[in-house]
Structure 1
Amino acid sequence: MLLPRVLTAVVGIPVVIGAIHLGGLVYAVFMAGITLLCLYEYGLILWLGGKPVQRVPLAVLGAAMWLAAVLSRQSCAAGMPDGILPMAVTFTVFGVALWELLFPGRSLERMALTLFGIFFVPWTLAYMVNIRELPLGEYYTVMLFVSVWVGDTAAYFAGKRWGKAKLLEAVSPKKTWVGAIAGFIGAVITTIALKNMLIPQSMGGLEAAFLGAVAGVAGQASDLAESVLKRSSGVKDSSALLPGHGGVLDRFDSYLLLAPLYYFALLGVSTLNR
């Protein structure tokens, strides 16, 4: 399975880096497409596992939540009062509840899984755009993507070579403590190295190490969160769109919990450096 993984990466990495470099509308559209595919695969996992979900509200309200999270950041940056995100959250909860009243089914479980999907996928991935829109956002976004890639690679090879003690066998049988530690170290070292190469004056080494630690911990936690979803549905991969990698959600799962935390960590680091 290594060759398909490598070939997919050879094609995919330049596309991602190119979208990051172009920024603006190009990167926003790229991430919107990624988000919609991830949201589709979230619904697919639930469907394959026989779990109920409101498919129309998941798609429509999920897209609206992503857009609201992006516009909310822009309105704050422009000094405008921000009511977009609270309004989106309110209408999302209202819409899911109203749908259940109009089309009753396995109500509690279906509402819970629909709301979770909306907040777990589009709301969090919107922060990938928000990070790019920050000052020096191109470099921060590259640091984020590459630190996760290197961390994943380090975890994979170290775990395969030396890993024995399982990290959370009930959730992800192949993940080991050795792999998790290697992934964490890889993310930290990569972040520090990229900071020194790309933006040496923007922050100190300790702050870069902190960002790397956020990536190393939250990225792996996010990966495990998706594993819980797949395991509860009896599914191995979110889809087969990316040879050797599974689905788009499998490739971007590390950013679900990580992106918002990384964004706020960057804001904290920027505040300290003023």
Structure 2
Amino acid sequence: MAVRGRDIGLRAASAVVLAPAAVAATWAGGVWFLALMVAACVVLAFEWAAMSAPHARRLMGGAVTFGLVASVVSAHFGAMAVAFIMLVFGAAAAGVYARSRGQQALDAAYGVLYLGWPAVLLIWLRDVDSTVGLHWTVLVFAVAWSADILAYLVGSTVGGPKLWPRFSPNKTWSGFVGGIVAGAVAGAVMAAWVDMGRLTVFWGAILGLAAALATMGGDLWESALKRRFGVKDAGNTIPGHGGLLDRVDGLMFAVVVVAVGRLAVLMLERGG
């Protein structure tokens, strides 16, 4: 129990330091949010390189960073088509460069797409200075963090059958249920509390449930990737959590689901 208590303490301390910075940059928007995203992309790129190409982590980290930052900056200036083109180009360029250095081209290319797709969509969700865009971005954080924290707490407290022991031996079905319930509640609360366009409380709960499922899926997917690369954590950037990728793996999947939800609401609003 002492080890678990110390682990929870490290997680809490890391959250106290990192969460306010992320929330402040998200609230400010504009260049501050861009700076947050660029910094996150650089860290994630080098963590991915350390996992997938440990003998050439600096070279591969730089190659993946190029594709990510080019896409994120393009999205920040509203050039979404260019952002997705840069994402594909960056993935191809990283793959070619990796092969020229004797590394796995597919791993490098996949790293750009895996990390870049949600980063671009998160920039789109924030929509620079849009108040409603801020609310949708907060929804992503609220659902993903709620699902992640409750899944950990419920799973640690209740225990029970393992969810996917082959790739993630510590995750339980009880934690999974706790996580999706927390996500649904977070989605409903956000829809009731702030302006989310035509997103009702009911559909906010449904979207939160779907995003929480995506959060759980993203966490499991990264566990499978780490098992493939033979590592326990993506890095040691955040005490108690491992690497930044270990902290945002579920968030990245949740962003995609929430972005689809926002697109559906936008289409509904434009259709009258």
**Superposition TM-score, scaled by structure 2 size:** 0.86
Paired residue for 1:79? Answer: none
Per the alignment, do residues 200 and 255 of structure 1 end up closer, same or farther by CA in structure 2, a change over 3 Å counting? closer
Per the alignment, do residues 62 and 23 of structure 1 end up closer, same or farther by CA in structure 2, a change over 3 Å counting? closer
Q: Which one of the candidate residues 139, 150, 154 is aligned to 1:154? A: 150
Identity among equivalent pairs (%): 25
Paired residue for 2:22? Answer: 16
Per the alignment, do residues 75 and 135 of structure 1 end up closer, same or farther by CA in structure 2, a change over 3 Å counting? farther
1:34 to partner: Cα distance: 0.9
Per the alignment, do residues 164 and 135 of structure 1 end up closer, same or farther by CA in structure 2, a change over 3 Å counting? same
1:172 to partner: Cα distance: 0.6
Q: Which has the higher contact order (CA 8 A, sep 6+)?
A: 1
Paired residue for 2:253? Answer: 257
Paired residue for 1:131? Answer: 125
Per the alignment, do residues 99 and 44 of structure 1 end up closer, same or farther by CA in structure 2, a change over 3 Å counting? closer
Paired residue for 1:237? Answer: 233
Paired residue for 2:47? Answer: 41
Map residues 44-193 of structure 1 onto 2, 5 A cutoff: 44-48=50-54, 54-71=60-77, 74-75=78-79, 82=81, 84-85=82-83, 87-89=85-87, 91-92=89-90, 94-96=92-94, 98-99=96-97, 103=100, 105=102, 110-133=104-127, 136-193=132-189
1:104 to partner: Cα distance: 5.7
Ranges in structure 2 where 5+ consecutive residues have no aligned partner: 1-6
Q: Deviations over 1:206-229 (max 9, x none)?
A: 220122022111111111111111
Secondary structure, aligned partner of 1:136:
helix
Ranges in structure 1 where 5+ consecutive residues have no aligned partner: 77-81
Do 1:68 and 1:85's aligned partners in 2 also have CA atoms closer than 8 Å? yes
Q: How many residues matched?
A: 261
- Superposed CA RMSD in Å reads 2.5
1:185 to partner: Cα distance: 0.6
Moved more, 161-170 or 114-123: 161-170
**Superposition TM-score, scaled by structure 1 size:** 0.85
